[in-house]
Structure 1
Amino acid sequence: MSIRYFSILLVLIIVSCKESTTTPAPKKEIVIKEPFEVEFSKVSKKYKKEKQAEISNFYNETIKKNKFSGGFLVAKNGEILFENYNGFANYKTKKEVTATTPLHLASVSKVLTAAVVMRLYDEKKLDINQNIKTYFPNFPHDGITIKTLLNHRSGIPNYAYFTEPDNIWGRKKILHNEDIIDLLCTKNIPMEYRPDTRFSYCNTNYALLALIIEKVTKLPYPEAMKQLLFEPLKMQNTFVFEYEQQKDTVSLSYKSNWHTIPFDQFDAVYGDKNIYSTPQDLLKFDLASYSENFFSKKLKEEIFKGYSYERPGVKNYGLGIRLNEWDNYNTLCYHNGWWHGSTTSYITLKKDTVTMIALSNNYNKKVYQLKKLSSVFGEYPFEIEND
């Protein structure tokens, strides 16, 4: 090799090395994740195919053939295995139910009300062990805390019953949440039992929780729910029904024969009901509930445990969620709803990371059979019996 050739080669090597050390390496793409996003394992194609066949059969034989009108969805690890929409949001105009049609959640609304209360608790903006007199100084009874409202151990009577007499309220005037607390404070309404001595499911508890949310946030309940829950989780088709403004525009409620069920004096009360949503939006909420940015580990331990063991049995209630607790099976976490013709079911199988939702706007008790589908995914004592 000549000296001249060697020199040229050496220069090329030096330049090459210099370029390789000064050229920056390609940057790795940084993905900014949503604050409540949870990573689940991928569901295999084989698993999907197997489960889809079982779910489809259950839906067609148990739910849909019973004149189902509404939305139905089942997901595993956040991946939708099966969904279907059927029927009419407005039977007269033949406006169909679609994936974006908000339907009345009935008492499944309680799950969302409780979620906001618990997030305020986690952020130390309220204490669930506080006496409710902190927020309602004129309330005449002692020993009732936010927690006893959440788990239905307050002893407060149901507003649907104590407001019936004309000298208390009557059936002709529209009732609002503020009216409920005013009546409890001024009309000498007796308690049903001593607080925190037993369980009794009562809508009044969640009507009062909605008022507490308003007092803590300084926002009307519909706006508080929007800012604290619906917008952060991108639940774009979810809202709190406001009777005076929306009674002529929302999806309607029907008997099974498509006769419209009219609004009544209780349709302006929220917290216990009156949230409209979709199966896809409820799935977003359910997935967020696995995130420790949404519910801390300590919070989950408080929410998803039973508080009422006075009577033997598997049925119990956590903080805004129903429970079936068996000795030899997985715990079933769920909430059902029924208001006018709306029959609803939300099931979250925490151990199996499965979400099951059925929302109907024409009275259909078969919706409550959704829990039997749990046995397809894990250890639950149900058998699917097609009709």
Structure 2
Amino acid sequence: MIFIKKTNILQLLMLTLLLSSCNQKKKTNDLESNIPKDTMPHMEPPTQKLPKLSAQYIKSKRNAIEHFYNKNWSHNSMNGSFLVAQNGQIIFEKYEGMANFRDERPITATTPLHLASVSKVLTASAILKLIDAKKIGLDQKVNTILPRFPFPEVTVKMLLNHRSGMRNYAYFTDKKDGVWDRHNILTNNDIVELMATKNIGLESRTNTRFAYCNTNYAILALIIEKATGLSYKKAMERMIFKPLGMNHTFVFDYDQDKDSIVPSYKGNKEEIGKDYLDKIYGDKNIYSTPRDLLKFDLARNNPNFLSPKLLKLVYTPFSQERKGEKNYGLGIRMINWETGQNFYFHNGWWHGNTSAYITLLKEHVTIIALSNKFTTRTYQVKKLAPLFGDYPFKLSKEEKEE
């Protein structure tokens, strides 16, 4: 009887521990899902109704775009997704090549590809919504949000427009000086800790010049987490992807997704594996499709996206220390010509992935090109802008509409 009682007690203890563990796990999993939806802003679907394009207009533009596509991407060189839309209507789209050459899985309209640095546009949009909702301040010092952040003069705005002066994490962790063991996967929090403890100084004095730097957007992702109480992945889902119906868009989770996502390739179709930088998010690591990005672009350029004052700042050039046409706003690249014409875009490159996102504000045109097999031809889609407005990019005579 004593033996039976001890066994029963042991089983009871084990059952109690198991239930306690399950309940704790459930509490952790429910923590994010139980946050009320109104505790943070989210992207609204566009309410602005744009004029419907005529069939004749669509045909003329489609013919010119198709000629451009056929000239710039033969069947062998293009491996990705391509879309051009105006007023929210798709004029031309093409999906070509393989998502995975090993199993010969083709790229389709629903195949998410790595956006590389085009991810910055989405990260910036989440930050801007939080600023507009007064969850954080545009000119707020970063160290008031992230106490371990070591540079006291850097603000949220300086992260958005690349004027923080910080060094690129890919460079200061690549050195053989004991800063980081490249056998270990780097995280966003590791970046902050290294800058705080390893004497990683600034590359230039804060707010003295523009210097494009991925570290800025890795830090912005941490700010999103701090301001929302959610992981970056969950916050982006809640704030942007789900409200806009971006059903094929997600933040890459290294531990869960590394063996299932679409791989990237060199130009010769040799697969490029993962490395120690592939866990960093905010500056990259969003996967999406052109159709989902079109939904995003329509919402982002809708009058109800941001307050007029903040929206104006988004498209304000902040790199004026040297006279030039190329510039950067709050999460968007731009070319500002002396004629007064402005061209807004963002390109991306990570491993074999290249991406181009173009938004012609006046003409309500969206141009998107994504490729998971390395090619710089992705960036040539800017040459389609003259089909819709007065943009001084060169198209061949045959590519111009009749």
TM-score by length of 2: 0.86
1:118 match: 128
2:386 paired with 1:347: no
2:260 paired with 1:249: yes
Could you say what secondary structure the match of 1:53 adopts?
A: helix
- In the TM superposition, residue 299 of structure 1 has moved relative to its aligned partner by 2.1
Q: Is the 8 A contact 1:63 1:367 kept in 2?
A: no
Aligned residues: percent identity?
Answer: 53
CA distance in 2, matches of 1:269, 1:295: 27
- In the TM superposition, residue 138 of structure 1 has moved relative to its aligned partner by 3.1
- In the TM superposition, residue 46 of structure 1 has moved relative to its aligned partner by 1.5
Superposed CA deviations along residues 123-152 of structure 1, whole A, max 9, x for unmatched, are 111101000011222333221000000000
CA distance in 2, matches of 1:363, 1:191: 32
2:39 paired with 1:38: no
1:85 match: 95
Could you say what secondary structure the match of 2:265 adopts?
A: coil
Tell me the amino acid that sits aligned with residue 207 of structure 1. Answer: A
CA distance in 2, matches of 1:225, 1:142: 27
2:7 match: none
2:143 match: 133
Could you say what secondary structure the match of 2:272 adopts?
A: coil
Tell me the amino acid that sits aligned with residue 198 of structure 1. Answer: R
1:52 match: 62
2:180 match: 169
2:318 match: 307
- In the TM superposition, residue 216 of structure 1 has moved relative to its aligned partner by 0.3
CA distance in 1, matches of 2:106, 2:70: 19
- In the TM superposition, residue 35 of structure 1 has moved relative to its aligned partner by 4.6
Superposed CA deviations along residues 338-384 of structure 1, whole A, max 9, x for unmatched, are 00000100000001110000000000101111111101110000112
- In the TM superposition, residue 292 of structure 1 has moved relative to its aligned partner by 2.4
- In the TM superposition, residue 164 of structure 1 has moved relative to its aligned partner by 1.6
2:243 paired with 1:232: yes
Q: Can you give the 5+ residue segments of structure 2 that lack an aligned partner in the other structure?
A: 1-43
- In the TM superposition, residue 45 of structure 1 has moved relative to its aligned partner by 1.4
1:74 match: 84
Tell me the amino acid that sits aligned with residue 228 of structure 1. Answer: M
1:26 match: none
CA distance in 2, matches of 1:301, 1:258: 43
How many pairs align? 354
Q: Is the 8 A contact 1:321 1:335 kept in 2?
A: yes
Superposed CA deviations along residues 154-213 of structure 1, whole A, max 9, x for unmatched, are 001000011123411032211010100111111110101111110000000000000000
CA distance in 2, matches of 1:43, 1:159: 46
Query: Which of 377, 381, 386 matches 1:375?
Result: 386
Could you say what secondary structure the match of 2:57 adopts?
A: helix
Could you say what secondary structure the match of 2:195 adopts?
A: helix
Could you say what secondary structure the match of 2:73 adopts?
A: helix
- In the TM superposition, residue 301 of structure 1 has moved relative to its aligned partner by 0.2
Could you say what secondary structure the match of 2:190 adopts?
A: helix
CA distance in 1, matches of 2:375, 2:295: 25
2:252 paired with 1:222: no
Structure 1 stretch displaced more, 140-149 or 288-297: 288-297
Higher-Rg structure is 1
CA distance in 2, matches of 1:85, 1:134: 45
Q: Is the 8 A contact 1:35 1:293 kept in 2?
A: no
CA distance in 2, matches of 1:131, 1:217: 17
CA distance in 2, matches of 1:59, 1:90: 22
Tell me the amino acid that sits aligned with residue 172 of structure 1. Answer: H
- In the TM superposition, residue 290 of structure 1 has moved relative to its aligned partner by 2.1
CA distance in 2, matches of 1:37, 1:74: 21
Q: Is the 8 A contact 1:128 1:145 kept in 2?
A: yes
